[in-house]
Amino acid sequence: MSEDVQTEEPQVEKRAFQTEVQQLLHLLVHSLYTQKEIFLRELISNASDALDKIHHRSLTDRHILDPNAELDIEIEVSSSNKTLTIRDRGIGMTRDEVENNIGTIARSGSAEFAKQLAEAGDEQEKLKLIGQFGVGFYSVFMVADRVVLTTRSADPDAEAVLWESTGDGTYTLAHADEAARGTAIKIYIRSDCEEFLDAHRLEAIIRKHSDFVSYPIKVAGKQVNDTAALWTRPRNEITAEQYREFYTHLTGDPDEPLAHEHVIVDVPIQFYAVLYIPKHAPTPWLSHSEPKISLNLHVKRVFIQDDCKDLLPLWLRFVRGVVDCDDLPLNVSRETLQQNPIIAKIRATLVRRIIGMIEGMAKRDQEQYLTCWRTYGAVLKEGVAMDVEHQGALAKLLRFHSSLADDADAYVSLQTYIDRMQSEQEKIYYLAGESKESIAQSPLLETFRKRSLEVLYLDEPVDEWVVHGLQKFADKEFQAIDAADLDLGADAAEVQLAGVDQEQKAATIELISFLKKQLDGRVADVIESKRLTDSPCVLVSPQGGLSQNMERLMKLADREFKGHLRLLEINPKHEIIRNMAAVLKRDRDSTQLEHWAHFLVDFVLLGEGTVENPQRLSQSLQSIMGAATARAAEEG
């Protein structure tokens, strides 16, 4: 190494942090007060990750610096200098890596993160965001005046690097004289944070937050943690608090998960798993265009990868946790993991156990289960629609809004539906639509309400695929109530009424033939309704056609998609229909009748929230109002 002064100086480079990092640092230093101790968890977690990486690499690659270094984390306190140093013999960083990892938030959405952090309400919320976005390292500035990071990469040719910052806007990078592999972070503790120079305090924090780190953590030479991986320990020796802390350690989410499941299997293959259902799902993570499976895979305690997509079906992508298998070779690669029969067996067990965990929640605690359902229901429904093997079990977990619910937010399970359906009822009735509000106002529900027949509201796009996939539940078929051929059988009262007025009957037939002509191209047919009581008309789907909602979804996906025309059913007993029939009888050429004819269709579409031609509707309304106001003016 040259001692030349000329080359020594320019090696110290001063750099500005990425803007987002500056904002983040400001917020960390100025807005998080009570939870400062988490900086230690974050740094230990980084050290542990660095040890995982070198451990894994050393299994196949001996061409690394210090191949025999002990894999541990050492913490030293200097009371006189008021410094705390955290050192690991992990994979270390090259100069470029330091710059990319520590000077920037190397993730898309970092600006978004800073924005959310600024808007976050309380500390808990902020901590959660910090966990989610993984800005762990910077949390050190909650307790530090100055941080000096020395690191040397495991690449034998890389030089050691010294990074230093006071957490204002800038940092410096320089060459360091360090022979050994790994990273040391020297923290100059702020005067108001001197509690973190107390070894007992540090030990307590480590036991609380980092007990399950699988490498020895030593404070002043003494090991503090229990390195036996949590998942290998017997279930009855692990406290609820430890399961919770382990979850936070894995995910960065400080919120308690909804449920956990500890799997220990010996035969036919030996593996362990700890699985969690988080309380909140980050939205981009669920609806992401390339969704991931976020389980950490270990082989014989060695971390292998954190996104093994073969471990779970995509409809369980909200589950977090670890899996550790003793029967896989340590040098498995991503490629060989695919189609590995052992992974397939693990997956089958995990799916069964997770469904069991969710069923347990549904039995134990309704409220908690509904939290789970509101968050992950749409994802679970993908499973019902696509995974025939688990369809039966998943169908029992489905929840829907319904016409018989006491309040609009209540849910019903298919089993409850079956349990309370009427003795002579043959089918499970449903109506699909854009929202539960638009479904609830549909005239199609009238006769069902009158007869106290329950109708499920299918208000999510995937719902119709779900009932089509299931076809039946408990031997009862699903039946859309907007099907033209739906026959409920007439009520006695309705039959009586039907025969009463021959004159009115003739007028209705006239009106129907008039409407057919007027509405040609808008509806497939016009017929007399057997199901309406309070509404003038309704649109129903032709026999064998897609439901209206399905067509709506098809149109969203494909602008060119031309759906089937629906049938207009009119209610001859309704005032509007009777009046129209009377006007028609008197004056076949009434221009108002033409408007009214179209308005019958628009009226239904308006309720569904899908008016196809707002201009025409607006004109219809104008003409109707014109006539009404003229009449009112004459009367006055």
Closer Cβ to ligand ADP, 92 or 257, answer by number: 92
Closer Cβ to ligand ADP, 135 or 332, answer by number: 135
Could you say whether residue 47 binds ligand ADP (CB under 6 A)? yes
The one segment of 41-49, 261-269, 431-439, 536-544 that binds ligand ADP by CB under 6 A: 41-49
d(CA 266, CA 269): 6
Where residue 172 falls (left for φ over 0; alpha for ψ -120 to 50; beta otherwise) is beta
Question: What is the smallest separation between the CB atom of 183 and ligand ADP, expressed in angstroms?
Answer: 4
d(CA 120, CA 468): 42
Closer Cβ to ligand ADP, 42 or 569, answer by number: 42
Could you say whether residue 50 binds ligand ADP (CB under 6 A)? yes
Closer Cβ to ligand ADP, 151 or 403, answer by number: 151
Closer Cβ to ligand ADP, 252 or 469, answer by number: 252
Q: Which of 274, 269, 272 is nearest to 327 (CA)?
A: 269
Closer Cβ to ligand ADP, 42 or 551, answer by number: 42
Q: Which of 257, 258, 271 is nearest to 300 (CA)?
A: 271
Question: What is the smallest separation between the CB atom of 87 and ligand ADP, expressed in angstroms?
Answer: 9
Question: What is the smallest separation between the CB atom of 485 and ligand ADP, expressed in angstroms?
Answer: 58
Closer Cβ to ligand ADP, 42 or 382, answer by number: 42
Select the residue whose beta carbon is closest to ligand ADP and give its number: 134
Pick from 11, 85, 101, 391: which binds ligand ADP (CB under 6 A)?
101
d(CA 443, CA 432): 13
Could you say whether residue 296 binds ligand ADP (CB under 6 A)? no
Give backbone dihedrals phi and psi of 469, rounded to 5 degrees, phi first: -65, -40
d(CA 594, CA 518): 7
DSSP 490: -
Contact string 183-222 vs ligand ADP (x = CB under 6 A)? x---------------------------------------
Could you say whether residue 620 binds ligand ADP (CB under 6 A)? no
Q: Are 82 and 187 in contact (CB under 8 A)?
A: no
Closer Cβ to ligand ADP, 147 or 297, answer by number: 147
The one segment of 45-53, 557-565, 574-582, 619-627 that binds ligand ADP by CB under 6 A: 45-53
For 387-422, give one letter per residue: b (16+ CB within 10 A) or e.
beebbebbbebbbbbbbbbeeeeebbbbeebeeebe
* Residues within window 111-150 making contact with ligand ADP, judged by CB under 6 A: 134-137
Q: Which residues pair with 295 in a beta bridge?
A: 321
Output the DSSP codes for 425-465.
--EEEEEE-SSHHHHHT-GGGHHHHHTT--EEEE-STTHHH
Pick from 46, 110, 402, 548: which binds ligand ADP (CB under 6 A)?
46
Question: What is the smallest separation between the CB atom of 136 and ligand ADP, expressed in angstroms?
Answer: 3
Q: Is 30 exposed, middle or buried (0-12, 13-18, 19+ CB in 10 A)?
A: exposed
Q: Are 604 and 548 in contact (CB under 8 A)?
A: no
- Could you give the strand order of the β-sheet that contains 476-480, starting from the edge strand earlier in sequence? 412-413, 399-402, 455-458, 427-432, 476-480, 472-473
HSE, side-chain direction, 13 A CA sphere, residue 107: 12
The one segment of 44-52, 259-267, 279-287, 422-430 that binds ligand ADP by CB under 6 A: 44-52
Q: Are 350 and 263 in contact (CB under 8 A)?
A: yes
Closer Cβ to ligand ADP, 181 or 381, answer by number: 181
Contact string 412-451 vs ligand ADP (x = CB under 6 A)? ----------------------------------------
Closer Cβ to ligand ADP, 215 or 473, answer by number: 215
* Residues within window 63-92 making contact with ligand ADP, judged by CB under 6 A: 88, 90-92
- In the complex, the residues that contact ligand ADP under the rule CB under 6 A are 42, 46-47, 50, 88, 90-93, 101-102, 134-137, 183
